[in-house]
Amino acid sequence: MKIAFFDSGLGGITVLNEAMKRMPQEDFVYFADTAHVPYGMKSKDEVLTFVKQSVDTIIQEEVKALVIACNTATSIAISELRRIHHIPIIGMEPAVKPAVEMNRSSGKRVLVFATKLTLQEAKYRELVSRIDDMGMVDSVPLPELVQFCENLMMDGPQIVDYFKTKLAPFDLSNFGTVVLGCTHYPFYRGVLSQILPNHIQIVDGSIGTVNHLMQVLQDSNQLPGTGNGHVKWMCSSLDDAYIKKMEKALAFLQAVK
Ligand code: DGL
């Protein structure tokens, strides 16, 4: 049985990469909803429909767990998916909680990057109002970054200029942590760490999500598996060129360390 990962496009590969490092004896299936990426600028109803359709396809594979490796899809569809499907479904949310805890004693601020849809959803607003009792959190959407990523533009002057423009309104000396609350964004961790002042830490949800996934599999005696790290790539637009793109995106992450 495989472990499935789902995202609108390439973003969830940042979570898959973490899972592959930690669980070399598993096989995986990765599904990208290429017919509808990006989700972040679409309506809630559209995204709910697209996610349900995608998961109906994924579930045809022999899978022992499904990771919704997309903050946007999680915030819109996770409850509905868990109601329909009876396999473990692991979702993601921007890592606001650990970021706020990290900065509580210093009083530094937290900058959360995520999609427009994630930031406007009740799930995110409730998360922030529950955790951010000192009003430390600023939230900024980065819609163009998903497009850059989908075009495999992972670095270069255009990306650097883009981040500089988005960061310009903020006095970064007041910030302690940047949260990457969209799974496409960790592809830019390297570029971002060169632009941000050294004292700012960058966090994303992939380690926490894989910890949770492993715990769920452990609790149901499904670890270790009998696989060897094979990934079956799938996408909704049946596009062979996109399969190559997914392999390239994974190779980019694997080359980092
Ligand atoms: N990777 C996704 C997320 O984590 C969504 C990006 C998009 O399709 O806009 O939110």
* pLDDT tens-digit series, residues 3-39: 999 999 999 999 999 999 999 999 999 999 999 999 9
Q: Are 2-92+206-255 and 96-204 the same fold in CATH?
A: yes
Give residues with Cβ within 8 angstroms of 95, minimum separation 6.
Answer: 179, 181, 203, 204, 205, 208
Binding site members for substrate: 7-8, 39-40, 71-72, 183-184
2-92+206-255 has CATH 3.40.50.1860 classification: yes
Each residue of 191-208: pLDDT tens digit?
A: 999 999 999 999 999 999
Point out the catalytic residue in the list 70, 110, 112, 235: 70
Ligand 1 in contact with 7 (CB < 6 A)? yes
Each residue of 129-139: pLDDT tens digit?
A: 999 999 999 99
- What does the pLDDT read at residue 257? 67
**Looking at ligand 1, which atom is closest to the CA of residue 143?**
9
Q: What's the Cα-to-Cα distance from 132 to each of 110, 119, 163, 180, 234, rounded to whole Å?
A: 10, 14, 25, 17, 38
Ligand 1 in contact with 71 (CB < 6 A)? yes
**Cα–Cα distance for residue pair 229/208, rounded to 1 Å:** 20
What is the pTM (predicted TM-score) of this model?
A: 0.97
Each residue of 86-119: pLDDT tens digit?
A: 999 999 999 999 999 999 999 999 999 999 999 9
Is residue 70 annotated as part of the catalytic site, yes or no? Answer: yes
Structure tokens belonging to residue 227: 């696989």
Asked if omega into 98 is within 30° of 0 (cis), the reply is no
- Domain borders along the chain are 2-92+206-255, 96-204
Point out the catalytic residue in the list 95, 179, 182, 202: 182
Mean pLDDT of the chain: 96
**Cα–Cα distance for residue pair 50/48, rounded to 1 Å:** 6
- How much distance in Å is there from the Cα of 71 to the middle of ligand 1? 6
User: What is the CATH architecture assignment of 96-204?
Assistant: 3-Layer(aba) Sandwich (3.40)
Ligand 1 in contact with 209 (CB < 6 A)? no
